[in-house]
Amino acid sequence: MNEPFDAKSSENQYKLLGELTVPLDDSELFTATSVEHWKQVTEKIAWFVCLLATLVLIVPMMAILTYLLVQAWPALSFSFLVENPHNYMTAGGIWAPLVGTFWLVWISLLIAAPVGVLAGVYLNEYARDNWCTRIINLAVVNLAGVPSIIHALFGVGAFVMFAGMGRSLLAASCTLAVMTLPVIITSTREALAAVPRAFREACWNLGASRWQTIRTIVLPNSISGILTGVILQVSRAAGETAPILFTGAVFFSTLPEYGIQAFFPYGLGDRCMALSMHLFTLSTQVRGVTPALQYGTAVVLIGLVLAVNSLSIGLRVYLRSRKKW
Amino acid sequence: MNDQPSTTRRATKRGRARLHAMLQVVLDRTEPAVEWLIRLCGWSAILLVFGIFFFVFREALPMLSGKLNLTEFFTSLEWRPTAEPVPHYGILALLVGTISVTGLAMLMAVPLGLGAAVYISEFSSGRMREILKVLIELLAAIPSVVWGFIGYMVLGPIIIRLTGAPVGVNLLNGSIILALMSVPIIVSVGEDALKAVPDSYREAALSLGASRWEIVYRVLFPAAKNGLLAAVLLGVGRAIGETMAVLMATGHAIQIPHSLVDPIRTLTATIAAELGEAVQGEPHYRVLFVIGLVVFVLTFIVNLTADLVVKGIRNERAV
């Protein structure tokens, strides 16, 4: 026992580390049994499979978007955006549908945003937790799940026929507004719920009424969150086709190309072209369209929608970063 | 005292303050009216859901009350709405089309969606997770007409080359497109469900020596099963109701599919394709509203079930 420690001796199974002896061969301390080995393998497999599932979603999408962009490249130019389609839509640009989409989205926004925001205010600030509120919640959820073609039928039945708007810009915008309402309600509610209750209580303590509190405290503190939802609505409305197909969109209409008239080509009672509808028409209804024109329209539509969406996402990230409470 | 504003500026300031005060007074006075307005808007969702049902039903009613043979409607394969002298309104083939394309799409979308949800929620972290979530969100933002366009112009030729099918727009094409469309909702709802499982569950499992996969499989899946089921149901709801994409990508042939590459037609695509041609008030026009009612009821049931399933977990948690 008094022999000096020889690290190189034949019994160098152990190494001295201060007071601690550690087996050099860790098999003595920890042996992966077959069960544990299996565990590690399954974890690796599961990780890989899940990664694969994610990649299968994202990589092809990227590839397809790139492919669309490459195909559309010859058509994309400034004149493509500002020219009207001509020669039975086999040539020219997309100005008329672009303006149509712009007005459809704005008018639907003007209708849906106030109603949606007030509904969100009601659900978050006024409604108590009773059966009536539960039914409203259920209605919002189900309204969000109603298929777009049913919205189209509703638009035809209610706005075009019953309200006597006929097939018009106004009827199409109303239909889009109904469709996008639940999105606005839900996001407004979330934005309002994020305002701490203490803010409201402090305001009530000063003697403010409910409406005063909402006006001066709750809405200013959640306005950006509400905007995020509204912007998201814009992107959804811009891309929809089915609801406007029978309520106001038209395959083709001739428009002035120059002057102030080019920006206000449609009255509320006119039928209008729309970008999403135009893509549908170009790819399935018209013969002899150069592919670049179709791809170009698709790319502009995707670009528009994704740009609006990125704006919304960016706003959300920015908000989260500077949240004060 | 040091920097006295000029008199005019002080005046405008005072004027603005007075205007502001007046505005506040007006706004305060209108409180009862405003409250009613808010309440009305709050109820708008209910009004609209009933309104949608009412107006679709109203247009369909003349057909439903006697003129339409419901047995034939649901069991006949013949959809010849414009045939003379006797039109045939049988939606069985369309119903089978909808169900087959939805089912096939779900076969692809559910594993992919849940896999991606698990990866995002359990196997990735930090910046990577945020990036993946944003990408999935962008996938959800692509409009359905663009998906249809992709199916028609890009996927169709690929399918022809790979399978040798005579037409590229068919059941397979439609369901791939539908799967890609309904995956984002499955991923985001599924991820929420997984995230809602308390971390203490994960920690307990870890301390028992479970691997990450065991945590997912033995702990998270049972704990989040309702949320995951709701995710799948919402995906189904989206797929049933999808219109433009299936209109463009499924080939539009009224038949029961016998192979993956047979073209089919769905309920929604039929409405979209024929409502434009149908004469207002004619039986053909009204039958399309009846089909709309069928689609509405189908999606309503699916969404309602999903909602009840989600409510179910919430109540369980509360206990």
Q: How far apart are alpha carbons B148 and B107 in whole angstroms?
A: 20
Tokens representing A133? 């509120």
In a domain, B77, yes or no: no
Q: How far apart are alpha carbons A183 and A232 in whole angstroms?
A: 8
- B116 and B256, same domain (yes or no): yes
Q: Is the ipTM above a cut-off of 0.85?
A: yes
Q: How far apart are alpha carbons A221 and A207 in whole angstroms?
A: 19
| pLDDT > 70: percent of chain A | 86
pLDDT at B293: 93
Tokens representing A41? 């393998």
In a domain, B245, yes or no: yes
Chain B contacts of A280, Cβ < 8 Å?
145, 148-149, 244, 248
In a domain, B75, yes or no: no
pLDDT at B3: 52
Q: How far apart are alpha carbons A325 and A269 in whole angstroms?
A: 48
Q: How far apart are alpha carbons B217 and B12 in whole angstroms?
A: 69
**More reliable by pLDDT, A2 or B280:** B280
Q: How far apart are alpha carbons B314 and B303 in whole angstroms?
A: 17
Q: Residue A70: which residues within 8 A CB-CB, separation 6 or more? A: none
In a domain, A108, yes or no: yes
- Of B268, B219, B216, B217, nearest in space to B242 by CA: B268
- B127 and B183, same domain (yes or no): yes
Phi and psi at residue A198, to the nearest 5°: -60, -35
Tokens representing A38? 């299996």
Secondary structure letter of residue A92 according to DSSP: E
Q: Check A57 against B42: CB less than 8 A apart.
A: no
- Of B41, B36, B20, B19, nearest in space to A211 by CA: B36
Q: Is the pLDDT of residue A168 over 50?
A: yes
pLDDT band at B277, cuts 50/70/90? confident
- Number of domains within chain A: 1
Q: Is the pLDDT of residue B104 over 80?
A: yes
- B134 and B273, same domain (yes or no): yes
In a domain, B66, yes or no: no
Q: Is the pLDDT of residue A13 over 50?
A: no
In a domain, A315, yes or no: yes
Q: Is the pLDDT of residue B1 over 50?
A: no
Determine which of B102, B134, B152, B213 to mutate to test the interface with A (most A C-beta atoms within 10 Å).
B213
**CB-neighbour burial class of residue B134 (10 A; exposed 0-12, middle 13-18, buried 19+):** middle
Contact map slice: B 132-171 vs A, CB within 8 A: 132, 134-139, 141-146, 148-150, 152-154
Q: Check A239 against B145: CB less than 8 A apart.
A: yes
- B23 and B157, same domain (yes or no): no
In a domain, B197, yes or no: yes
Tokens representing B306? 């999903």
Helices (H) and strands (E) in chain B, counts: 15, 2
Q: Per this entry, what is the length of chain A?
A: 325
Determine which of A39, A101, A129, A150 to mutate to test the interface with B (most B C-beta atoms within 10 Å).
A150
pLDDT at B315: 62
Amino acid code (one letter) for B236: V
**Which of A13-17, A216-220, A266-270, B179-183 is modeled with the greatest confidence?**
B179-183
Tens of pLDDT, residue by residue over B88-102, are: 888 999 999 999 999
- Number of domains within chain B: 2
Q: Are B275 and A152 in contact (CB under 8 A)?
A: yes
- Of B113, B104, B94, nearest in space to B261 by CA: B104
Q: How far apart are alpha carbons B194 and B223 in whole angstroms?
A: 8
**Which of A15-24, A25-34, A226-235 is modeled with the greatest confidence?**
A226-235
pLDDT at A260: 67
* Domain that includes residue B32, residue range: 7-56
In a domain, A114, yes or no: yes
Q: Which residue of B has its CA nearest to A115?
A: B41
pLDDT at A5: 54
pLDDT at B79: 87
Q: Which residue of B has its CA nearest to A65?
A: B150
Q: Is the pLDDT of residue B2 over 70?
A: no
pLDDT at A12: 47
Which residue from B238, B244, B299 is facing A242, i.e. has the nearest CB? B244
**Which of A13-27, A33-47, B107-121, B297-311 is modeled with the greatest confidence?**
B107-121
| B214-231 as b/e: b if 16+ CB within 10 A | bbbeebbbebbebbbbbb
pLDDT band at B319, cuts 50/70/90? very low
Tens of pLDDT, residue by residue over A178-211, are: 999 998 999 999 899 988 889 999 999 998 888 8
Q: Is the pLDDT of residue A177 over 90?
A: yes
Tokens representing B198? 């308390």
Secondary structure letter of residue B6 according to DSSP: P
Q: Check B141 against A56: CB less than 8 A apart.
A: no
CA B160, B161, B163, B164 torsion-angle sign = positive
* Average pLDDT of the segment spanning A132-151: 89
* Average pLDDT of the segment spanning B261-286: 89
Phi and psi at residue A246, to the nearest 5°: -115, 5
pLDDT at A259: 64
- Of A65, A106, A143, A124, nearest in space to A303 by CA: A65
Determine which of A41, A48, A52, A54 to mutate to test the interface with B (most B C-beta atoms within 10 Å).
A54
pLDDT band at B316, cuts 50/70/90? low
In a domain, B78, yes or no: no
- B139 and B231, same domain (yes or no): yes
In a domain, A203, yes or no: yes
Q: Is the pLDDT of residue A37 over 60?
A: yes
Cis peptide before B85 (omega within 30 of 0): yes
Q: Is the pLDDT of residue A141 over 90?
A: no
Cis peptide before B62 (omega within 30 of 0): no
- B173 and B47, same domain (yes or no): no
* CATH code for position A289: 1.10.3720.10
B182 CA to chain A: closest CA distance, Å?
Answer: 11
Phi and psi at residue B269, to the nearest 5°: -65, -35
Q: Are A24 and A12 in contact (CB under 8 A)?
A: yes
| pLDDT > 90: percent of chain A | 30
**More reliable by pLDDT, A31 or A8:** A31
Q: Is the pLDDT of residue A236 over 90?
A: no
Whole-number average pLDDT of chain B = 87
Q: How far apart are alpha carbons B74 and B297 in whole angstroms?
A: 14
In a domain, A306, yes or no: yes
* CATH code for position B305: 1.10.3720.10
- B210 and B267, same domain (yes or no): yes
In DSSP terms, B251 is beta-bridged to B264
| pLDDT > 90: percent of chain B | 46
- B157 and B276, same domain (yes or no): yes
pLDDT at A10: 46
Amino acid code (one letter) for A260: I
Q: Are B228 and B155 in contact (CB under 8 A)?
A: no
Q: What angle, rounded to 10 degrees, do the helices at A34-72 and B126-141 form?
A: 50
Tens of pLDDT, residue by residue over B113-164, are: 999 999 999 898 888 898 998 888 888 889 999 999 999 999 999 999 998 8
In a domain, A223, yes or no: yes
Q: Per this entry, what is the length of chain B?
A: 319
- Of B69, B268, B258, B253, nearest in space to A150 by CA: B268
Q: Is the pLDDT of residue B6 over 80?
A: no
pLDDT at B98: 93
Tens of pLDDT, residue by residue over A90-135, are: 777 888 888 889 999 999 999 999 999 999 999 998 888 888 888 8
pLDDT at A179: 92
Q: Is the pLDDT of residue A222 over 60?
A: yes
Q: Check A154 against B52: CB less than 8 A apart.
A: yes
Q: Is the pLDDT of residue B108 over 90?
A: yes
Amino acid code (one letter) for B32: P
In a domain, B81, yes or no: no
- B293 and B207, same domain (yes or no): yes
